[in-house]
Structure 1
Amino acid sequence: MTAPAPEARVPRTRRQWFTLGVAAVLLAVLCLVAARWQWHRYTDREAQIDLVESNYSAEPVPVADLLDGPGAVLDPADVWRPVELEGRYVEDGTVLLRNRPVHGTPGFHVLVPFEAELPGGDEIVLVVDRGFVPLGQDASAPSTVPAPPDGEVRAVVTMRADEPASGRGAPDGQVQAINTAQVLAAAPGGADWAQGRMVGAYGQLRSEDPAPAVSPGALPPPDTDPGSHLSYAFQWVVFALGAVAGYVLLWRRETRPVTVTAGELLEESDLQPRRPARPRRTSDEDYEDALLDGAGQARDTSSA
């Protein structure tokens, strides 16, 4: 039984090649768009890291150098800078920040307003994130909330920009974002006492003097991991090049002239069935040869 001959390859039409080309270009464009998006995320992240590295380790300055009075808004270039505060905590205004875990541990941040004194006798109210407390037994509130120091306090905080106001609801005395207006309004007494003294920023506590007997857990330093955005950008560029290169290689493979080697010809001849040999006709010479052979054999027999 002979093997079947290989089927001939049907060439693609111009319409098919055009469709494949458009698909390859569209795929390459989408990959490049994704690469550009990852590149912008990488550059934005690098800018954030540069800001952290230049500001976080700087020497503390008086808060008036960054927030000169009520209504002031923190300059984005001053985020992560440490400042010194002198004044008093308003313990009755303590509010808890929800859904902000630390090192993977769920819990709450303790937010306390601070009346900071400025040169000239002015005051501003700055929300201070004093630290982290874990969940209580029912997970709706912590078991205990450490109280801030009484009286005059000197504190060093890291300046952060006010977060956008959250539209999500929260139980009484709790918030979903560190937005000065929302934090002060969530306190039992409301925010009327701070009107005209609020600022567009908040602080993350580094130290306070005098130190209380019990403090919330310290907040971690800012994350400076650049992430994988740069490698993702290069991967998307490689995918874009692969889409175009794949189309070109397919076109060259299917449109180049077909060359047949001697081995392929021999293989093709072996696959074709051979016709059986036709019997040869007996000629007069064959009869004469047969008679002579017979006569010779008869003489040999009689002589024996």
Structure 2
Amino acid sequence: MYRFLLSRQWVFLTLLGLVLIPVMIRLGFWQLHRHEHKVANNKIIAAALKAPPVPVESVTRPGFEVPHEDLYEAVSARGHFDTAHEVVARHRTAGNAGTGDDAGGQQIGYHVITPFVLDDGRAVLVNRGWIEGPDDPTAFPKIPAPPSGEVTVFGRLRPDETTSATGIRNPKGLPPRQIMLINSTMMSRYMPEQLVGGYLEMVSLSPGGKPSSPALIPEPNHSDIGPHLAYAIQWWLFSSMVPVGWVVLLRRERAEILAARAARSGAAPGPGGDGTGDGDGTGADGSGDGEGDGSGDTRGDTRGDTTADSATVSV
């Protein structure tokens, strides 16, 4: 009955289902892990944004890699800006730091990166915000100057950008004072001061408050958890539908085979069926015709001839 399962079509279909089920289950867990990472990341950001700022010297140093648990940690730095070594990061949107933030607009421009010399002689890179790009992308744009003299910068600590972490390529031959990645190790080659690891996204200045230009990088969105949990459930539902679909196809194939067998059985002659009845009827008709017509005619003719012959002899 189920011998059709050994056909090439059904063997392929079964093997395909056996491959798809674990793959879909794994994809579901992958989306679940992304959901968990997003939730944990949101908690880290929310806690960091609520915490009071700490001196940047207490959380980073030259060559230091900012750990994930210190992401967006509120920090403060006291010193002065070094505009002589100021650069711009290319291809940045008005509300995106280029590292996965989702807030803000999509107009392409530059992020202004200005070294900030600390009181101890070291320096930290400060992302002062976004400006619109000039018509000539090879020209250095006009940048509003920061406050001169001693100031305190408040900001969010960010790790050094890398191609692997951000997906931003770092080609050679860029115009002077233009960069693709905000990276303290790369910038330290052109700086007289020793740079600490990571950089600051500026939030405000003291004195000065919140400058209107360059446009400050908006606070990261830490309330959106994304669609990953829904995707995980979707993949698991797909994996459960594979065996259900296989059984449905199996039953449909079996029903079609049984229907074809029944149709063939009804069309073929069999003993005691219509063919036998037709044969009997034909025999009966032939016998009746032979006996009635042949016997009657023969007896009649014979008797007549015999009577006639007898009468002739008598006469």
What TM-score results when the alignment is normalised by the length of structure 1? 0.72
Q: Give runs of aligned pairs for residues 43-122 of structure 1, distance below 5 A.
A: 43-67=36-60, 69-102=61-94, 103-117=105-119, 122=120
Partner of 1:28 in structure 2?
21
Which of 187, 192, 198 is matched with 1:183 structurally?
187
More displaced stretch, 50-59 vs 205-214: 205-214
More helix by share: 2
Per-residue deviation, 1:202: 0.4
User: Separation in 1 of the partners of 2:181 and 2:117?
Assistant: 20
Please state if 1:39 is matched with 2:41.
no
Native 8 Å contact 2:153 2:202 kept in 1: yes
Native 8 Å contact 2:89 2:112 kept in 1: yes
Q: Which amino acid aligns with 1:168?
A: P
Aligned-residue identity in percent? 28
More displaced stretch, 22-31 vs 248-257: 248-257
Native 8 Å contact 1:95 1:183 kept in 2: no
Q: Which amino acid aligns with 2:235?
A: W
Native 8 Å contact 1:95 1:111 kept in 2: yes
Native 8 Å contact 1:11 1:254 kept in 2: no
Per-residue deviation, 1:11: 6.8
Change in CA separation of 1:230 and 1:142 when aligned onto 2, cut-off 3 Å: farther
User: Separation in 1 of the partners of 2:134 and 2:73?
Assistant: 33
Q: Which amino acid aligns with 2:47?
A: S
Per-residue deviation, 1:140: 4.1
Q: Which amino acid aligns with 2:113?
A: L
Change in CA separation of 1:12 and 1:141 when aligned onto 2, cut-off 3 Å: farther
Change in CA separation of 1:75 and 1:179 when aligned onto 2, cut-off 3 Å: same
What CA deviation, in whole Å up to 9, does each residue of 1:87-144 have, x standing for no partner?
0111101000011212101000000001122xxxx33210000000012223445752
Native 8 Å contact 2:131 2:213 kept in 1: no
User: Separation in 2 of the partners of 1:219 and 1:181?
Assistant: 22
Task: For residue 137 of structure 1, give the secondary structure of its aligned residue in structure 2.
Answer: coil
Structure with higher Rg: it is 2
Aligned residues: 257
Per-residue deviation, 1:171: 1.6
Native 8 Å contact 2:80 2:151 kept in 1: yes
Q: Give runs of aligned pairs for residues 119-130 of structure 1, distance below 5 A.
A: 122-130=120-128
Q: Which sections of structure 2, spanning at least 5 residues, go unmatched?
A: 95-104, 164-168, 268-277, 294-315
What CA deviation, in whole Å up to 9, does each residue of 1:197-231 have, x standing for no partner?
22211000001123298630111111332221111
Please report the RMSD computed on the Cα atoms of aligned residues, expressed in angstroms.
3.5
What CA deviation, in whole Å up to 9, does each residue of 1:218-274 have, x standing for no partner?
1111133222111111111111111121112222343469589xxx9xxx9xxxxxx
Q: Which amino acid aligns with 2:110?
A: F
Per-residue deviation, 1:184: 4.3
Native 8 Å contact 2:188 2:195 kept in 1: no
Change in CA separation of 1:142 and 1:171 when aligned onto 2, cut-off 3 Å: closer
What TM-score results when the alignment is normalised by the length of structure 2? 0.70
What CA deviation, in whole Å up to 9, does each residue of 1:34-69 have, x standing for no partner?
2222222222222211111111222112223313x4
User: Separation in 1 of the partners of 2:185 and 2:21?
Assistant: 48
Partner of 2:154 in structure 1?
156
Per-residue deviation, 1:181: 2.5
User: Separation in 2 of the partners of 1:202 and 1:143?
Assistant: 21
More displaced stretch, 39-48 vs 231-240: 39-48
User: Separation in 2 of the partners of 1:48 and 1:141?
Assistant: 38
